[in-house]
């Protein structure tokens, strides 16, 4: 949730929480159904019939407190909006979390549900049940929530640099250097590897550039757990669910069959890696025929080192390490394998990215400075000429975001 310097078309089919949504307490009966997960340090609670159990480590805000924190939800406090509703900038005391005057205390992002959105309500539940109980440096911190009458809100830490999507594709944003993109990829990989690492795995299901938020130091954190699922149990390799997610990022086996694997997330990671390498959106109907799907168009370039420079984002202006880019391209290609079993695990992805980052340090030591050769720069200039005609457009069919006075945040 944060400031900005968007997305691909989405598969907005109904959500299915019957088998793996964490969930519920009935206010009428007072009964709670509890699922103890061996992978988490806390229980998950099933939410049913419109009620929710208090989540560990979350502050329960009153609606009045959040009205005060956001200056009565005034338009000049809006950070962004989308299918879920609007996101507002608010101020709270860092210790007590009580609302404070604008400009004092800690900045937070307050997401306010559109009361007409049933999908938003389900995702609000999922957000609390996953993000409210998971803690990791590369996951956006959910600070609290509010439920009063029809008012549903979520309160997050404020992410000063906004989304990766905006930095890659929004006009007016300074281009990200190769080093920063590698840092962001590693941070996002750590967050996703954390979700996959436990015995009771969490499948993120909607990994994409707009869900990767950046703090003031460009540390990447995963946001938006509205579509997250608990992974398969026992000897099962996948779960079966109705398709939701984002076209262009969703794995082919999931789109075709509804079979969701842990490694379906790895495919999405590969798509984001490809976007960071190329500076192009995953899907863009404005591109020429044969280039609208970035994955389909880019695979031959990823597989051929001699062609790779033509794929690289011209905004690099040749300022990247050719060995690193080649290894990153190979990793991306592996993540985009058609069969889930052929893709690396996120643990392996993270290890490879860290090795690629270390290569830069070794190269600097060997060359006494820059890790980019004159040949690299020449290739970059050639790539820039080759790609100038490629538009970067794209549309978001299920959720969107809006900029206000140079600020925006993803609102689902």
> Where in the sequence numbering do the catalytic residues fall?
206
Tokens 């390799």 correspond to: 237
Name residues whose C-beta falls within 8 Å of residue 355's C-beta, 6 or more positions apart in sequence: 327
Tokens 């031959």 correspond to: 300
Taking CA atoms, 315 is separated from 171, 387, 388, in Å, by 12, 10, 10
Going through 132-209 in order, the beta strands assigned E by DSSP cover 142-148, 151-157, 162-163, 202-203
Sign (positive/negative) of CA torsion 137, 129, 98, 86? Answer: positive
Using a 10 angstrom Cβ sphere, with 0-12 exposed, 13-18 middle and 19 or more buried, the burial of residue 4 is buried
Answer yes or no: are the C-beta atoms of 169 and 396 closer than 8 Å: no
CA 247 – CA 251 distance, rounded (Å): 9
Distance from the Cα of residue 410 to its chain's centroid: 10
Q: What share of the chain is helix, strand, coil (3-state, %, to 5)?
A: 35, 20, 45
Task: List, as one string, the DSSP characters of 34-50.
Answer: EE--TTSSS-EE---TT
Using a 10 angstrom Cβ sphere, with 0-12 exposed, 13-18 middle and 19 or more buried, the burial of residue 251 is buried
């Amino acid at each position: 949730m944060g400031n900005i310097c968007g997305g691909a078309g989405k598969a907005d089919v109904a959500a299915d929480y019957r088998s793996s949504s964490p969930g519920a307490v009935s206010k009428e009966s007072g009964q709670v159904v509890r699922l103890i997960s061996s992978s988490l340090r806390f229980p998950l609670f099933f939410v049913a019939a419109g009620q929710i159990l208090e989540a560990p480590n979350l502050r329960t805000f009153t609606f009045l407190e959040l009205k005060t924190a956001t200056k009565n939800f005034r338009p000049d406090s809006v950070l962004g909006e989308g299918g879920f509703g609007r996101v507002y900038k608010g101020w709270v005391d860092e210790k007590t979390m009580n609302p404070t005057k604008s400009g004092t205390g800690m900045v937070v992002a307050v997401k306010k549900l559109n009361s007409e959105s049933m999908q938003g309500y389900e995702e609000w539940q999922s957000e609390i049940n996953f993000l409210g109980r998971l803690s990791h440096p590369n996951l956006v911190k959910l600070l609290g929530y509010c439920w009063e009458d029809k008012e549903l809100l979520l309160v997050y830490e404020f992410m000063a640099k906004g989304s990766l999507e905006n930095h890659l594709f929004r006009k007016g944003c300074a281009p990200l250097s190769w080093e920063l993109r590698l840092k962001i990829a590693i941070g996002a990989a750590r967050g996703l590897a954390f979700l996959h690492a436990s015995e009771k795995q969490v499948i993120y299901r909607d990994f994409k550039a707009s869900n990767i938020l950046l703090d003031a130091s460009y540390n990447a954190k995963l946001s938006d757990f509205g579509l997250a699922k608990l992974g398969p149990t026992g000897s099962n390799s996948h779960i079966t669910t109705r398709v939701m997610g984002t076209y262009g990022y969703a794995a082919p086996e999931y789109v075709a069959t509804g079979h969701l694997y842990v490694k379906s997330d790895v495919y999405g990671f590969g798509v984001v890696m490809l976007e960071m390498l190329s500076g192009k959106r995953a899907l863009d109907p404005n591109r020429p025929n044969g280039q609208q799907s970035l994955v389909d168009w880019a695979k031959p370039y990823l597989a051929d080192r001699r062609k790779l420079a033509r794929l690289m984002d011209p905004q690099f202006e040749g300022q990247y390490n050719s060995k690193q880019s080649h290894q990153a391209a190979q990793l991306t290609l592996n993540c985009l394998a058609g069969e889930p079993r052929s893709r690396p695990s996120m643990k392996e992805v993270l290890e490879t990215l860290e090795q690629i980052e270390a290569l830069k340090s070794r190269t600097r030591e060997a060359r006494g400075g820059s890790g980019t050769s004159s040949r690299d720069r020449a290739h970059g200039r050639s790539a820039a000429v080759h790609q100038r005609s490629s538009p970067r457009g794209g549309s978001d069919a299920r959720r969107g975001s809006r900029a206000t006075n140079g600020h925006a945040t993803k609102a689902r």
